[in-house]
Amino acid sequence: MKLIVTKDEQQGGLEGFKVFQEALQNNAQTFGLATGSTPITTYEQIVQSDLDFSNCISINLDEYVGIKPDNPQSYRYFMNKYLFNQKPFKQSFLPNGLAQNSKQEAADYDQIINQHPIDLQLLGIGQNGHIGFNEPGTSFDLTTHVAKLTESTIQANSRFFKNINDVPKEAYSMGIGSIMKSKKILLEAFGTQKADAVAAMFNGPVTIDVPASVLQNHPDVVVIADEAAAAKVN
Ligand SMILES: N[C@@H]1[C@@H](O)[C@H](O)[C@@H](COP(=O)(O)O)O[C@@H]1O
């Protein structure tokens, strides 16, 4: 894994943008995208640029179960707001949080991923080392599934909701098995609250207890971390 340490989140966003730019120059067709506060600075840079994704496909990592796409807390709404409204893709896929049959929805999403192999996958990281919504303990082989959110993730994500009780307890998530098939992976981490997870991802053993540690087994990973998030890496 290659580590790029930046002064702050703004600088990190710029470095992240450059990875997207390079991927496009190398004819990347399909981009795996992420939500959360972390990718916002990269999306801002993309929005301000002349990069054109109108011939590309995007596939998002995850979506809350039970939330409508037009609900401001949904990941579809987030993606429209921060990226798609300004930089449309040819097609943008997210799991349907309202699907009646979750097994079918997961299978359909896997088919989408299989039809569009991901050239560049963007990831954030949870404070407990989760990627997408693959929480500690999740098998490295899983594909799309409904994940139960841990208390720490519900707590961390409650800042986006009026009340912690409004945070969904479940989400569709692309599995680690699919994430690892991406040609290139870009993981971003900003802030001291990510320092332990980033250190465990880099220096710790590869273990399902720290889902992001699996990235040590991937041949092409770039991690962009600000000084605070990279502080505990050996
Ligand atoms: N499912 C998302 C992850 O994809 C994200 O990486 C993580 C960190 O979020 P943030 O970037 O807001 O710290 O939170 C959520 O749980």
Q: pLDDT digits over 148-206, tens only?
A: 999 999 999 999 899 999 999 999 999 999 999 999 999 999 999 999 999 999 999 99
pLDDT, tens digit (0-9, with 9 covering 90-100), for 202-221: 999 999 999 999 999 999 99
Write out the two tokens for 62. 């995850």
Amino acid sitting at position 225 = A
Atom of ligand 1 nearest to the CA of 191: 13
Please confirm, yes or no, whether 44 is among the known catalytic residues.
no
pLDDT, the chain, mean: 97
User: Which of the listed residues 130, 146, 173, 210 should we mutate to test ligand 1's pocket, taking the one with most ligand atoms within 8 A of CB?
Assistant: 130
Does the pTM of the predicted model rise above 0.90?
yes
Question: What pLDDT does residue 5 have?
Answer: 98
The residue whose CA is least distant from atom 15 of ligand 1 is 36
How long is the chain?
A: 234
211 Cβ below 6 A of ligand 1: no
CATH class of 2-224: alpha beta
Question: What pLDDT does residue 126 have?
Answer: 96
Domain ranges of the chain: 2-224
Amino acid sitting at position 12 = G
User: Which of the listed residues 62, 74, 125 should we mutate to test ligand 1's pocket, taking the one with most ligand atoms within 8 A of CB?
Assistant: 125
Q: CA–CA separation, 95 vs 99, rounded Å?
A: 8
Mean pLDDT computed over 43-60: 98
Amino acid sitting at position 89 = F
Report how far apart, in Å, the C-alpha atoms of 28 and of each of 126, 138, 149, 182 are. 27, 29, 32, 11
Please confirm, yes or no, whether 218 is among the known catalytic residues.
no
